[in-house]
Amino acid sequence: MKKNIPVPAAVKMLALLIILLPTNSNAATNEATYPGGGDIPLVNSGIVTVLSTNLQLVKAVFDLAGNCLASSPADANCNSSATSVAVGTGTELKFIIYLRNTSIVAATNIRFQDLLDDVEFTYIAGSIMYDASQFDTATVAAIFTAIDTTGTVQTDAFDGSLAVNEFAGIDTAASPDNLLVGGDTLAPDNDTVNIPANRTFAILFRAFKN
């Protein structure tokens, strides 16, 4: 039996993104002052331009052969911009979530959550991986290939004693399942996610369609 599932519903992407980068900042004025007062004339000491960009958050679903089936937001390189796909019960799928940092400065202390509908999907234990090798210009196919072939496996745990570079874990006791990436109060022992300038950070996990 197949069911047409819009990606936002199938994916259940409730991603909470906390980015410590200024948003849409264009310029700041650095102006000289003289706290002592008096008749000394002062002029602006210079204009400092602060540039920033929003991080792009994308979630995409792949089959086991590495074909991109749908993504949110739509991507012309993913099944002709499909945002929904029909999959049969028992189908194993690979989901990736990635963030592009298209700015020339590092993005630091990144945290997000993803809620996986455990009525529609069954998470496959031990399947979380991460990759940060791709540039911000990489295609969705290149991002998937990098993480699928050489990604670093993460434990499912998000608290307790974790190894270095443990960035993500999942709480399957919750409903829906709660994937936590980056360290925050819900996942205090996750490592901090920092994305270098012009790089992409990606998470992959697998699940069965119920």
Enumerate domains of the chain plus CATH numbers: 2-20+50-209 (2.60.40)
pLDDT tier, 4 (very low <50, low <70, confident <90, very high otherwise):
very low
Tokens matching residue 14: 């409730």
* pLDDT score at 73: 94
Query: In whole angstroms, what is the distance from residue 152 CA to residue 199 CA?
Result: 17
Note the pLDDT tens digit of each residue in 158-167: 776 667 789 9
Residue 119's pLDDT is what? Answer: 95
What pTM, to 2 d.p., does this model score?
Answer: 0.76
Residue 50 has what pLDDT? Answer: 60
Q: Give the pLDDT score at 132.
A: 96
User: Strands 177-181 and 68-72: what pairing?
Assistant: unpaired
What's the mean per-residue pLDDT of the chain?
A: 82
What does the pLDDT read at residue 171? 92
Question: Which residues lie below 8 Å from residue 100, measured CB to CB, with a gap of 6+?
Answer: 55, 56, 58, 136, 200
What is the pLDDT, as a whole number, of residue 47?
61
pLDDT higher than 50, residue 12: no
* 142 three-state secondary structure: helix
Q: Of the ranges 17-21, 24-28, 192-196, which is most confident?
A: 192-196
